[in-house]
Amino acid sequence: MSVSSHQSKAQPDEDAGLVFAAQKDPASFEHLYNRWVIPIYQYFYHRTREVSAAEDLTSQLFLAVYQALPRYQHRGRFAAWLFTIARNLYRTFYRKDQREAPLEVGLHLRRPVDFAGQDHEADEIERLIRLVRSLPEEEQELIRLRYVADLSFADIALILNKREDAVKKTLYRLQARLQRLMEEMHD
């Protein structure tokens, strides 16, 4: 499975059409799978840091989704439903294996390689990684869902059971705090 940059911020109508088609004709599930496989894989790879584990979890997730899809009631937020299942599946995996990859693994999946100025950029990234590692798990999960899974604020709010404006405010404050800390490290 290759991982490439993917825009997963789905339009609710697009997901609705894909879900409806898959509910009517199981062969149409492939379109839903193709739309979400990369963000789901990136999320699991980021969490496990293992290709085989990420692939296994991705397969398990889509099997569970396929089986649950006939009962799914689309209310405009398929991504939130999908990533709630993913988070629960990962929790089961984590409890069983007691392992998790650092947050920076997922961030590197989405970074294009730029060899010019790579040393300076590598230093900056290492500083940022240290800062992110020091964050509480809840803040790291917010970063994962927004920048690794590339989810909308509305979907993240549903997943985390918070209001959308609270998620936005928390993330913007977190970004500002990280930026300020990065600047302080340069002084």
Q: pLDDT band for position 187 (50/70/90)?
A: low
Q: Count how many residues are written for the chain.
A: 187
Q: Give the 3-state secondary structure of residue 86.
A: helix
**pLDDT of 22 above 90:** yes
Measuring CA to CA, how many Å separate 117 from each of 113, 114, 120?
11, 7, 6
- If you average pLDDT over residues 73-93, what whole number do you get? 89
- If you average pLDDT over residues 46-52, what whole number do you get? 88
User: DSSP alpha helices (H): ranges in the chain?
Assistant: 12-24, 29-48, 51-68, 78-97, 103-109, 118-133, 137-143, 153-160, 164-186
Q: Which two tokens stand for residue 45?
A: 């790879």
More confident residue, 124 or 80: 80
Planar angle of CA 15, 75, 110, nearest 5 degrees: 45
**pLDDT of 25 above 90:** yes
The reported pLDDT for the residue numbered 13 is 65
pTM to 2 decimals?
0.69
| Domain ranges, ordered by start, for the chain | 12-107+118-186
